Amino acid sequence: MKKIYNPDKTTWLEVLKRPTQTVADIENTVLNVFDKVKSEGDIAINEFTQKFDGVLLDEILVSVEEIEEAKNIISEELKEAIGLAKSNIETFHAAQKTSKISVETVDGVSCWQEKRPIQKVGLYIPGGTAPLFSTILMLAIPANLAGCQEIVLCSPPNKEGKINLAILYTANLCGVTKICKVGGIQAVAGMTFGTKSIPQVYKIFGPGNQFVTVAKQLATKFGVAIDMPAGPSELLVVADDNANAAFVASDLLSQAEHGKDSQVIMVTTSKKMIDGVEQEIEKQLEILPRKDIARIAIENSKLIYVENDELALDLINEYGPEHFIVCVKNEDFYINNIANAGSVFIGDYTPESAGDYASGTNHTLPTNGYAKQYSGVNLDSFMKSMTFQKISAKGIQNIGTAIELMAEAEGLQAHKNAVTLRLESLKKG
């Protein structure tokens, strides 16, 4: 990891630069896939699956038999673990439900807001070397709590044309209505345009590599909403002399093993901690099965020393981390003043892994600095707020003149007339 001491504020943008490609670097590849899927449907999906995943499928949709096989093979211990996580995630997200908000703004003018579920949602679940079945819990559970009617899941198949058994089991457990063996750009394109096998959806959720992230962003050009730009995983830990170097290193490595383009950063007010964490990373890295992936990610990562907590916080807010771990004596300073972070983990015994799996919070979070303006996935992500108003005769008399004056000032005579006609009819009795 690169060690940086007291970086000048003028260099922060460069110091905190992420190892990701831009939309422009990937856009042409994504648009080519989109065009082909839009015009050729399942034929194009199968061609791209063969090209990118190395398998020619007979059927895109997962069968009932495959789901039953997963239920029978998954160990009882893993089922219990998934069940515990499911319960905690349901508890946290169910608590986010809000009731109808109703108010009478003036006598005779009633306004209210109600929430309605997004009817059709698509979930993208990465497969490959790290099949993220935990992401299904994070997406399908709030989708069901919200009342979404159709929940479509896409995940890439392996070389045998199968989807990971834990993904199938969890998807079935969480009420996914259709599971498709398709990954990458073509999965996002399929959910954007719809094919014979893949339903078109109104909003797409889920993390992925840089190609999936750009595909989601470009899907918005075709009338589909997305949860957020969620690309390669990232973590920032703030630590001082009170932190446990072994714990900090384990957290940094837990994110580094996600992928070669992941980034982890430690910001610290302790030079001693930099040396301790660096040593622990090398020690722990050697025993990781995914050490080759983690080592490349570590090369893109940094250990940054600053002189005080105020500078550290400014640097962290400038970065806007997806995951933010606080391991300092004065933790309240960071908790109360952090402005830009997807999810915050506090204290020695709150590893980021807890939020990834079983604490109850959602792990689908904004990356690449988007924590400055995006929330992580929550119950409201699967809902829309709709406003209603009902105005009585008394109410239109109370606000009618104001509407007429404002409409006329904007030069919108028909708007004014819609009110004038009503007011005149009331005068006539």
Place of tokens 């008399």: 397
Whole-number pLDDT of residue 163: 96
Q: Are 273 and 242 in contact (CB under 8 A)?
A: no
**b/e sequence 381-393, b meaning 16+ C-beta within 10 Å:** bbbeeeeeeebee
Q: Which residues are the active-site residues?
A: 322-323
Over the stretch 317-347, which tens digit does the pLDDT of each residue have? 999 999 999 999 999 999 999 999 999 999 9
Whole-number pLDDT of residue 22: 65
327-332, long-range: CB < 8 A, 24+ apart: 327/237, 327/238, 327/239, 327/240, 327/242, 327/243, 327/244, 327/247, 327/248, 328/238, 328/239, 328/240, 328/242, 328/243, 328/269, 329/240, 329/241, 329/242
Q: What is the distance between the alpha carbons of residues 122 and 199, in angstroms, rounded to a whole number? A: 9
The letter for the amino acid at 422 is R
Query: Which sign, positive or negative, has the C-alpha torsion 363, 258, 321, 117?
Result: negative
For the entire predicted model, the pTM comes to: 0.93
Bridging pattern class, strands 323-327 and 343-346: parallel
Q: Which residues of the chain have pLDDT under 70?
A: 20-22
